[in-house]
Amino acid sequence: MTELRLADVDPARFPADAVVIGIYQAEDDASEPLVLADGARTVAEAFGGRGPSLVETLRLLGATGEPSEVTKIASLGAVTAPLVAAVGLGKASALPDHGAILRRAIAAATRALAGSETVAVAMPIMDRDAIRAVAEGCLLGTYQFSGYHSRPPRGRRTPVGTVTLCIAGSALDDGAAEAARASVVTAAVTLARDWVNTVPNEQRPPQFAEAIGQAATAAGLDVEIMDENALAEGGFGGILAVGGGSSQPPRLVRISYRPNESASTIALVGKGITFDSGGLSIKPAMNMWEMKSDMAGAAAVAATMVAIARLRLPVSVTAFVPIAENMPSGTAYRPGDVLRMRSGKHVEVLNTDAEGRLILADALALACESSPDCVIETSTLTGGQIVALGQRVAGVMGTPQLCDRVKVAGERTGEPAWPMPLPEDVRTGMESDVADISQVNSGMDRGGHMLQGGVFLSEFVPEGIPWAHIDIAGPSYHRGEASGDWAKGATGVPVRTLIDLIEDLAARPLAE
């Protein structure tokens, strides 16, 4: 992983392979097309006596200042680094309210500089939030999944080895703390990304459970892995049914973090479908390979637990990670089956491709048995989330106060989420003639499909326990090329949101 350092140095004289500076788009009433951002002054001065100014050279090369646009120029000895990379930050008037712009821009720049061993970053550091955004961006942009190539792919360059953030001495203390935090947080994002990007034949339920257990144990966490026998004894009918069609049996991983002093208790739940064929309600073949990412919620929750332990947060957190492979076979569960869940409720199955809510219902029931102060669950639950909110914005449902806290945490971390309702008429459409509730709308109506998932899960959270369901079907997996702080493939969403939210809840519990 790329190493992040801080130094009170002049970026124009720092010995690096490249130096990154920021440029703004001009404001509407300005005469200049580009404006250099704070941090670039000495670099610009070094170019002053060498023909066109740095700004003019960048303009001639086509730089516009658009967010995350990277323009490279050879320094020709003007500064110590042989290469200067200018990254667009949009308009300066918008920047103070948008740490996401900084994070994405720096990530784009460090990605564009792959092949450089050392990079210096000279960016506008206005406050601690800006330091956090820049530090995270420096590390998120260097992510590459090693993959399974027998030789390096053509054109792939080695990620930047060391990034030095040039920062004034007065801000070094805050910077050091934020750099340390950024290293822990981005390591957790990397762990989640690697798990999601792993091919499904190498990460079936027992293997994934073992990988989670090893990472959690290494972080000093307590781990319990329940196998199929323990699940049967515990009455986890949803997990067992969904995993019944696979030759690799399901698992449920419980991870516990207990600091010496804790003001509150939080439960996390993450969906871990290691591959989703749809079961007997089989999916179309096109793009089915992407269903290796259907365990992104589990990956995010487990990686978040590792980060919580390393950050030593003053709050007790227990994670519940149900893991299964949804496959068609002679032992698979069927449309029309009725399942007895951990909570004792009976569920009528109408579509075996709506399996995630079944394993989550069991995990939520178990999580609520200890009466935590709140429950936060995340999952790649419905295609309806993508239809409603697109690829970047997660949907969040549950207790309004907690959902609002999720939304604010997402805004701070650049992982947006939007609260959605849980209408009573959606619940009415899920009535069953033979069970307590149908798993999907009994008329097979896909209208409000994301809301159906949330309504179903709400049945397994007892009244009085605040909860939030975060549907990440879109933002957890990026199908296009790497962009900003998103890599191609797994994004690690919502690891940063969960860490920020838990920090916030530790400092300011829901009751306050």
CA trace torsion 131, 317, 377, 278 (10° rounding): 110
Residue 509 per-residue DSSP state: -
> Are 275 and 325 spatial neighbours (Cβ–Cβ below 8 Å)?
yes
Give me 40's structure tokens.
């670039």
> Are 449 and 382 spatial neighbours (Cβ–Cβ below 8 Å)?
yes
Q: Which residues contact 77 (CB under 8 A, 6 or more apart)?
A: none
Give me 350's structure tokens.
């109408």
Q: How far is CA 308 from the centre of its chain?
A: 15
Query: How many CB atoms lie under 10 A from the CB of residue 280?
Result: 18
Give me 345's structure tokens.
């409720």
Count of CA atoms in the C-beta half-sphere (13 A) of 86: 30
**How many Å apart are CA 374 and CA 289, to the nearest integer?**
35
* 357 is an active site residue: yes
* DSSP H or E segment with residue 348: strand 346-348
Q: Which residues contact 63 (CB under 8 A, 6 or more apart)?
A: 23, 34, 69, 71, 86, 88
Question: Residues 193, 357, 407, 412: which is the catalytic one?
Answer: 357
**How many Å apart are CA 250 and CA 267, to the nearest integer?**
21
Question: Residues 13, 72, 91, 283: which is the catalytic one?
Answer: 283
* 283 is an active site residue: yes
Place of tokens 């992983």: 1
Residue 96 per-residue DSSP state: G
Query: How many CB atoms lie under 10 A from the CB of residue 300?
Result: 36
> Are 498 and 296 spatial neighbours (Cβ–Cβ below 8 Å)?
no
Positions marked active-site: 283, 357
